[in-house]
Chains A and B, each alone.
Chain A
Amino acid sequence: MEKRRGAVRRHAAPLATLAGAALVAGAAHTCELPGAGRVLESARYTLAYRTIPRTLAVGEHFQVELAVCAKGADVPDREHRVAASAQMPEHRHGMNYAPSVRALGGGRYRSEGWLFHMPGRWEFVFEVGGERLTDSVRLE
Chain B
Amino acid sequence: MIRRLPIATRSALAACGAAFALAAAGAVAQTLAFSDAELRAILRHGPWPAPWSLDPSNRVSGNAHAIALGERLFFEPRLSPSGTVLCATCHVPYLGWQDGQAVASGLEQVTRNTQSVLNVRYNRWFGWGGAGDSLWAQSLRPILDAREMGGSAAHAAALVRGDAQYACDYEKAFSAPPPRDDEALLVGVGKALAAFQETLLSGRSAFDDFRDALARGERAAQARYPLAAQRGLRLFVGKGACNLCHLGPNFSNGEFHDVGIPFFVAGGGVDPGRHEGIRRLQASPFNLLGRYNDEGGEGERGGGAAARASAIKTRHVALEHRNFGEFRVPSLRNVARTVPFMHNGSLATLADVVRHYSELNLERLHADGESVLKPLKLSAQESADLVAFLESLSERASALAPRQPPAPCNQVLRKP
Contact = CB atoms under 8 A, between A and B. Distances in A.
Interface in A26-66: 58-59, 61
B318 A14 contact: yes
Nearest to A85: B318
Nearest to B41: A140
Interface of B: 40-41, 44, 124, 243-245, 247-248, 253-256, 312-313, 315-318, 320, 322, 368-372
Contact of A96 (B44, B317, B369): B317
Interface residues of A, number: 26
Given A113-B312, A140-B41, 9 more contacts: A11-B369, A58-B248, A58-B253, A59-B253, A91-B372, A92-B370, A113-B315, A120-B244, A140-B40
A120 B37 CA distance: 13
Chain B contact surface mostly: loop
Nearest to B370: A93
B326 to A, nearest CB: 9
Contacts of B244: 118-120
A107 interface: no
Closest 6 CB pairs of A and B: A113-B316, A98-B318, A97-B316, A117-B255, A93-B370, A117-B253
Contacts of A96: 255-256, 317-318
A7 B368 CA distance: 11
Given A61-B313, A93-B370, A119-B243, A13 B40 contact: no
A14 B321 CA distance: 11
A100 B316 contact: yes
Nearest to B371: A92
A95 interface: yes
A127 interface: no
26 contacts: A11-B370, A14-B320, A59-B253, A59-B254, A59-B255, A61-B313, A90-B371, A91-B371, A91-B372, A92-B370, A93-B372, A95-B318, A96-B255, A98-B316, A98-B317, A100-B316, A112-B312, A112-B316, A113-B315, A115-B313, A117-B253, A118-B244, A118-B245, A118-B247, A119-B247, A120-B244
Contact of A140 (B44, B312, B368, B369): B44
Contacts of B254: 59, 117
A102 to B, nearest CB: 10
A117 B369 CA distance: 18
Nearest to A63: B312
